[in-house]
Every structure is written in structure tokens, then in C-alpha cells.
Chains A and B, each alone.
Chain A
Amino acid sequence: IAGITQAPTSQILAAGRRMTLRCTQDMRHNAMYWYRQDLGLGLRLIHYSNTAGTTGKGEVPDGYSVSRANTDDFPLTLASAVPSQTSVYFCASSQGWGNEQFFGPGTRLTVL
């Protein structure tokens, strides 16, 4: 079944540790996105990629990095996690920037 997968489903992490959240899509979409969702704030864009090999910063990029080595994968890395990065992280993809987006199931991250 075509779609987007994210891993892990949830994670508890000690502050200062490095963590990579994985995202894979099999729809051959060009654009991919990472969002965080915090209570009462909706979703905020962290980083995006319009096509393989390119990335850009969203609304809240500090403390996060991404890479887009191929069309299917778009990992999000927290180099040194802090408690304020406790959130639910969603990956999404679309055919092109601003086109209809499809979301993964999310990763619930807790930083202690």
C-alpha cells in the first residue's frame, strides 16, 4: 500500500542525545516536509525539500537538520536534544510544493 511511513512510533530521549527520525514515502513525490505539533499551536514547518538534493528551512528550524539523498527518504536529525523539542513530529509529502499533502502517522518524542 502506497504511503508514508515514520519510525520510531515513539521515543523517550535524554537531553543532549542525538536522534534521527526516519521518514520514507513510496509515492515518488518530489516535495517532503517535517512538522512539529504542539498542544494548541497546530502544526509548524521545521524543514522541507522540494526535490532530492535540496532542502530549505521552515518556520522553526533551529536545533534540527535534514537531508534528502534520494526521492523516498527524508530523515530529521536532532543533534543535541533539549526538552523543548518534546513534541509530535509529522512527515508529509506532495507532488510539488503546495500541492495536496499526505501525512505519515507521526512520531511522539519526549526529551527528558
Chain B
Amino acid sequence: GIQVEQSPPDLILQEGANSTLRCNFSDSVNNLQWFHQNPWGQLINLFYIPSGTKQNGRLSATTVATERYSLLYISSSQTTDSGVYFCAVDSDMRFGAGTRLTVKP
């Protein structure tokens, strides 16, 4: 089946810093999603982005389907951004292992 790899596995930032999270996938996909799991375990859909670029406030995402990767950008990070970020592809509905982000005040 398709492989989904996320990097880095862990990321620690100071409040106000910017970051880029990466998601690589091993085969063609029709759809890709980014999720945030907060420290209480709740999963929230951030972006549904099979291709192109989308922005939502301080977050934006870019998917280059032909090169099999997606990037999630977080600008001016806040402590509330802490948690685990997952990407998922529609092929077999596979999730990556996630990037654990900690934003320190």
C-alpha cells in the first residue's frame, strides 16, 4: 500500500516563530488532508488540499501532487498551535505518523 511519511517527527518552537511541516507520499493520490490533534485528543480538519495552495489565517498548505508531497506552513506560532499534525491521503485512507509540535511561551 501507499506509504505516507511526515517530517520532522518532533518540533519545538518559541512563540512567534514560523515552521514548515512536510508530508511525502509514495504513490498518486486524489485527495490529501491535514489535521490537527489538540492536547485533549480532538481531531480537527485543517485543509482539504489535493493540489495547489490554500490559506486559512496563519496556516497555509501546498500540495504538489506530481512530486508527491505536501507542506503545511504555520506562521507566528502560538501556544494553542501545540499538538500533533497529521496528513492523510485518500488511497487506503492512510495517515502519516504525525509531527508533534510544541510551542513554548
Interface flags, A35-49, vs B, CB<8A=1, else 0: 100001111110010
Kindly state the separation between the CA atoms of A44 and B96 in the bound complex, as whole angstroms. Answer: 9
Give every chain A residue within 8 A of B48 (Cβ-Cβ): 99-100
Which of the segments A64-72, A77-85, A102-110 contacts the partner chain? A102-110
Beta-carbon contact of B33 and A45 below 8 Å: no
Kindly state the separation between the CA atoms of A59 and B90 in the bound complex, as whole angstroms. Answer: 13
Beta-carbon contact of A99 and B31 below 8 Å: yes
Interface size classification for chain B: 20 to 34
Beta-carbon contact of B41 and A98 below 8 Å: no
Kindly state the separation between the CA atoms of A43 and B97 in the bound complex, as whole angstroms. Answer: 8
A41 nearest in chain B by CB position: B97
Give every chain B residue within 8 A of A35 (Cβ-Cβ): 95
- In chain B, positions 1-16 with a C-beta closer than 8 Å to chain A are 1
Kindly state the separation between the CA atoms of A44 and B71 in the bound complex, as whole angstroms. Answer: 22
Kindly state the separation between the CA atoms of A98 and B2 in the bound complex, as whole angstroms. Answer: 15
Give every chain B residue within 8 A of A13 (Cβ-Cβ): none
Beta-carbon contact of A59 and B94 below 8 Å: yes
Nearest 6 CB-CB pairs, A to B?
A98-B90, A103-B43, A100-B48, A42-B95, A98-B31, A43-B95
